[in-house]
């Protein structure tokens, strides 16, 4: 996927509310890279520019992965309760 296609895909996923974004405290690229490696549901990172031209780096989170993880936790909890 080229950069334009990747940008379009990320925008579409954000518009459909399937991706979320979390920002490191300092909003730097270095911190965002670190977070991507620490968060299982992270699918990448993106550069965001506000109306004043200030750039912030954020981590794209796939909400479907979060939902699936929570579902698995609930199933495991249910299985443990029924033993």
Question: What is the average per-residue pLDDT within 23-35?
Answer: 97
Chain centroid offset of residue 30 CA: 16
Q: List pLDDT tens digits, range 30-83.
A: 999 999 999 999 999 999 999 999 999 999 999 999 888 888 788 887 777 766
* Backbone φ and ψ of 67, nearest 5°: -60, -45
Instruction: Give the model's pLDDT for residue 78.
Output: 72
Instruction: Give the model's pLDDT for residue 77.
Output: 78
**Residues composing the chain:** 83
Indicate if the pLDDT at residue 1 is higher than 80: no
Domain boundary assignment for the chain: 3-81
């Amino acid at each position: 996927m080229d950069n334009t296609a990747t940008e379009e895909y990320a925008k579409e996923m954000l518009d459909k509310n399937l991706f979320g974004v979390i920002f490191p405290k300092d909003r730097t690229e270095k911190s965002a890279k670190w977070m991507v490696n620490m968060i299982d549901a992270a699918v990448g990172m993106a550069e965001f520019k506000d109306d004043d031209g200030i750039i912030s780096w954020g981590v794209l989170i796939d909400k479907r992965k979060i939902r699936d993880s929570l579902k698995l936790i609930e199933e495991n909890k249910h299985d443990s309760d029924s033993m």
